[in-house]
Amino acid sequence: MKNKNIVYFLIFLMAALAVPLQLSCKSMSLSQITQNMQQRTVQIVFVTHHSDSASTTDYTYPAGTGLLVNDDGYVITANHLLDMGEQFAQQSQAQAEIKKLAIEIQTPSNIRSMPSASPTWTNDFDIIARDEKHDLALLKIKMTTEVSPLNGEILYTVHYRDGSSSGTLNLGDAPFITSTSPNNSISMTGYSSFETDGGLEIKTGKVTSREISNISNSQLTDTTGLAVSSLNVIYSITGYYQTDITSNTLFSGSPVYSIKNGAILGMCINIADSSGTSVIIPSRYIMDLLKNNNVNLK
């Protein structure tokens, strides 16, 4: 009888321990997943700097999207955006303008509200690595280093789009990137329009075909809609998945993730043809790029 009581007690103990374990394994809701992704999604922009005798004005024009992979300021985006930036910088060199690519970060507490009247603050970046074969680029935001007068702590300052500054980027948990092939329901977060104050948009859909070898002689981006002349770039990309999601070219560089657990499955590349089809660069190529450059996700 005594042994039976011990068995019952052990069964009860195992059941009690299983409850918190089940709770800890509970997946996030879709709203939580998308909110986390919005906080990590940045915009790649063209910047022009106009000066005359009366005033100096900065203008920004959207180019694409990127994903902050950690709080050290590393960003994954589409490589072809850098090519567009180089072409953009070479245009109208006779004009007294500074033309470059930069990164805009939205204020985490004010993701959807970005009034155009607010000052535009951008962050310069270094190009760490480029994977032209898979249309990937790894950037690092240039942060200003300061020493806290209180405790000597090193603070890294970035600018948010509304003009405010922050210390070390602290946007919650780093995104979980998995090498699992995307299937069934997926989602992506990118920019909704060519308006400079356009907000983030979430698109959902499905993978319609497995990995395809390449996109041959396909027009992957067209900057129609910007206040610059059209820059058409032709690419041949190796290894991608076809989706049924249509989007604008600003979604190039957008994170693609599972709507079940928020795991990053790849990066969106928009094909700027009449269909507006989006394809996915598999996440394993992103992981290789991060690993080869010693980038820690934590």
DSSP state of 72: T
φ and ψ at residue 162, rounded to 5 degrees: -80, 5
Cβ-based burial of 21 (10 A; exposed 0-12, middle 13-18, buried ≥19)? exposed
> What percent of the residues of the chain are helix, what percent strand, and what percent coil, each to the nearest 5?
20, 45, 35
At residue 147, the 3 state secondary structure works out as strand
CA 177, 251, 142, 171 torsion-angle sign? negative
Q: pLDDT per residue over 254-290, tens digit each?
A: 999 998 888 999 999 887 655 677 899 999 999 999 9
The pLDDT value recorded for residue 218 is 58
Q: pLDDT per residue over 75-84, tens digit each?
A: 999 998 998 8
Share of the chain above pLDDT 90, in %: 26
User: Which CATH number describes the domain made up of 185-291?
Assistant: 2.40.10.10
| Distance (Å) of CA 56 to CA 30, 51, 124, 152 | 43, 4, 19, 36
Domain boundaries, the chain: 40-173, 185-291
Per the structure block, which two tokens stand in for 148? 């806290």
Cβ neighbours for 133, distance < 8 A, ≥ 6 positions apart: 237, 238
**Nearest to 244, CA basis, from 207, 276, 212, 203:** 207
Model confidence at 112: pLDDT above 60:
no
The residue whose two tokens read 């989007």 is 247
| Element holding 225 (H helix, E strand) | none
pLDDT grade for 20, boundaries at 50, 70 and 90: very low
166-180, 197-211, 213-227: least confidently modelled range: 213-227
**Nearest to 129, CA basis, from 219, 199, 170, 69:** 69
Could you tell me the fold of the domain covering 40-173? Thrombin, subunit H (2.40.10)
Angstrom distance (rounded) from CA 186 to CA 259: 6
pLDDT grade for 99, boundaries at 50, 70 and 90: confident
Do domains 40-173 and 185-291 share one topology? The answer is yes
